[in-house]
Amino acid sequence: MAKIGPYEEHAGEYDGWFAENRFAYESELRAVGMLLPRPGAGVEIGVGTGRFAGKLGIRFGVEPSKSMRTIARDRGILVVGGSAEALPFRDGRFDFAVMVTVLCFLDDPDAAMREACRVLTPSGSLVVAFIDRDSPLGKKYNARKDESVYYRQATFHSAGEVTELLTRAGLRTLAFRQTIFGDPGAMTGMDPVREGYGEGCFVVVRADK
């Protein structure tokens, strides 16, 4: 069962976080944008309210929560219902696929990685952004996740675990970026985006087929 309950109930509130934490949002957008292959047809898996797809020019999305889909559609994203573990797209449909803070909610991450690979062209790329459980802030989030209506059900991953997942799916050439080095609510400007992982809470990895 997709873990969509909190998103179904609080879609507007979730979406509002990005406006209230503008600098964190912009830092994350820049980190994802840096590893996005262009040009090409792209899809965001677990597109949510379309905050990333909309700004990054990704036309297609898949999202299990109806409330989240409705907001993403208002942003002009072509969204279909479905889950990462069983994507409603034909083989080789996209040049790249993106997942932003979705991995931690998946019932079967390995199946999701295989599905992402299936819908990519033979030279396609998968970009995965996640909260790094082993980063200083990620450790705090993990310890306090029961206090969050959204993250209560999450299983956070380390960068090493994500690397293993991608490698098991047959992907290679991993490039990492990281950002968000302190409390997102206290930011007075964008955080830098650095190579690698280990310090930033928001990590992006690109893997090629």
Ligand X SMILES: C[S@@+](CC[C@H](N)C(=O)[O-])C[C@H]1O[C@@H](n2cnc3c(N)ncnc32)[C@H](O)[C@@H]1O
Q: Which is nearer to ligand X, 47 or 162 (CB)?
A: 47
Give the whole-angstrom CA distance, residue 207 versus residue 204: 10
Helices and strands in the chain, H and E counts: 8, 8
Estimate to the nearest angstrom the gap between the alpha carbon of 58 and the chain centroid.
Answer: 13
Q: Does 46 bind ligand X (CB under 6 A)?
A: yes
The verdict on 3 binding ligand X (CB under 6 A) reads yes
Task: Give the C-alpha separation, 209 to 202, whole Å.
Answer: 23
- Cis bond leading into 192, ω under 30°? no
Residue 123's SS3 state is strand
Segment contacting ligand X (CB under 6 A): 1-9, 115-123, 163-171, 196-204?
1-9
52 touches ligand X by CB under 6 A = yes
| 141 makes contact with ligand X (CB under 6 A) | no
Choosing from 24, 35, 43, 51, the residue that interacts with ligand X (CB under 6 A) is 51
Q: Is 119 in the site for ligand X (CB under 6 A)?
A: no
Residues that bind ligand X (CB under 6 A): 2-4, 7, 45-48, 51-52, 63-65, 68, 83-85, 100-102, 105-106
